[in-house]
């Protein structure tokens, strides 16, 4: 009951907020939604299947570069560009998954990082095609193929909200399905799932590719949002940002990563307004989180709630 109320309340808030915000604040909220999609895509493999990745930016950036290159050099048709971006991210994930999922634990972290660095290296080095370090500026929001233009910040916000909602629903359905339950089973004890007759590799691989596709969706949105793409989109910093958002919000919870995205982007904005030392503060957040709230804000809230309302029959 409270959960339904919470969903309805946040839906009303997200739909109604733009009317009360300045255009700058609206941009910030849009960015939160985009990174929420990015973090939620990572959460599918990290939170549910127990597969950590330090290279999730590869699929985010691959989607972004594909959209950017097509929009600048070929067509501004939304469906073609967006579809190609998602496809490129999916193909990259399908390829990298074959290599990365042969390993686990620390090796998996290292290998996903190194593979993402391959894509970063190409984007950085191939100046003639990708613009190198300078990136590709001047990417316009899609005009053709949509009923309304997305140039306006308010419209783009609602577009991002629509995509965010769609991704949330897709993930919710996936997680509640037998496929999602099997992923959790693999996270808890892969050996047991194998004994039960599950082809665990296939489950992990499919989850890995879906996560890549959804990261690509976030990358597509971000390139339209910024009108710009650079190798930073593929960097370890972006990969680690998704990771910290998932852990901060609470891995393996549906809304946790979205909460993590909102908190990190809000803090970045506040801190950057006062000092240039945001990386220092972000680093301190990483350290503090691991030491004091390893199960994230959702876990911290649960623990505090449990302390405030002790179980019946036990003295307070």
Partner 1 sequence: MTFWTFQILNGVSFGMLLFLLAAGLSLIYGLMRILNLAHGSYYILGAYVALSVGRATGSLVLAAVAGTAAGVVLGIVMERVFLRRVPRDELPQALLTFGFLLILGDLSLWIWGGTPQTLPRPEWLSTSVRLGTLHFPAYRLFVIAVGVVVGVGLWLLQEHTRLGAMLRAAIDDPEIARTVGIRVPVLTTGVFAFGAGLAALGGIMGGPLLGVYPGADFEVLLLAFVVVIIGGLGSLKGAFVGGLVVGLLDNFGKALFPEFALFTIFAPMAIILAVRPTGLFGVR
Residues at the interface with partner 1 (CB under 8 A): 46, 52, 54, 99, 102-103, 105-107, 109-111, 113-115, 117-118, 120-122, 124-128, 236, 240, 243-244, 247, 277, 279-280, 282-287, 289-291, 294
The CB-of-59 to partner 1 minimum distance in angstroms stands at 17
Q: How far is the CB of 62 from partner 1 (least distance, A)?
A: 15
Nearer to partner 1, 150 or 186 (CB): 186
Nearer to partner 1, 287 or 308 (CB): 287
CB-wise, 117 or 220, nearer to partner 1?
Answer: 117
Nearer to partner 1, 105 or 315 (CB): 105
CB-wise, 99 or 144, nearer to partner 1? 99
Minimum CB–partner distance for residue 126 and partner 1 (Å): 6
Closest CA to 219 of 71, 66, 78: 66
Q: How far is the CB of 209 from partner 1 (least distance, A)?
A: 18
Q: Give least dist CB 129 to partner 1, A.
A: 9
Q: How far is the CB of 258 from partner 1 (least distance, A)?
A: 19
Best CA proximity match to 166, nearest among 204, 213, 97, 203: 213
- Residue 137 pairs in a beta bridge with 228
Q: Give 122 or 255: the residue with its C-beta nearer to partner 1.
A: 122
Contact in structure between 18 and 204 (CB atoms under 8 Å): no
CB of 242 to partner 1, least distance (A): 12
Using the minimum distance from each CB to partner 1, give the nearer residue, 192 or 277: 277
């Amino acid at each position: 009951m409270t959960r339904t109320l919470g969903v309805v309340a946040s839906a009303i808030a997200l739909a109604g907020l733009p009317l009360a915000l300045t255009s700058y604040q609206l941009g910030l909220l849009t960015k939160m939604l985009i990174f929420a999609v990015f973090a939620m895509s990572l959460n599918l493999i990290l939170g549910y299947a127990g597969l950590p990745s330090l290279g999730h930016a590869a699929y985010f950036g691959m989607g972004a570069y594909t959209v950017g290159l097509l929009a600048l050099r070929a067509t501004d048709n939304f469906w073609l560009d967006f579809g190609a971006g998602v496809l490129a991210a999916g193909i990259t994930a399908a390829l990298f998954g074959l290599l990365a999922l042969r390993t686990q634990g620390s090796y998996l972290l290292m290998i996903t990082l190194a593979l993402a660095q391959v894509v970063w290296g190409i984007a950085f080095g191939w100046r003639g095609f990708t613009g190198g370090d300078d990136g590709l500026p001047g990417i316009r929001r899609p005009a053709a193929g949509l009923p309304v233009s997305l140039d306006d910040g308010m419209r783009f916000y609602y577009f991002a909200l629509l995509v965010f909602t769609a991704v949330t629903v897709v993930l919710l359905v996936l997680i509640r399905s037998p496929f999602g339950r099997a992923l959790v089973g693999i996270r808890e004890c892969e050996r047991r799932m194998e004994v039960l007759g599950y082809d665990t590799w296939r489950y992990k691989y499919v989850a890995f590719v879906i996560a890549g596709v959804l990261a690509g969706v976030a990358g597509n949105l971000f390139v339209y949002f910024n009108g710009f793409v650079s190798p930073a989109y593929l960097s370890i910093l972006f990969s680690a940002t998704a990771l910290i958002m998932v852990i901060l919000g609470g891995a393996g919870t549906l809304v946790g990563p979205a909460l993590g995205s909102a908190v990190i982007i809000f803090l970045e904005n506040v801190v950057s307004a006062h000092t240039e030392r945001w990386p220092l503060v972000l680093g301190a957040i990483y350290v503090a989180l691991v030491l004091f709230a390893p199960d994230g804000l959702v876990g911290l809230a649960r623990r505090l709630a449990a302390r405030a309302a002790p179980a019946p029959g036990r003295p307070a």
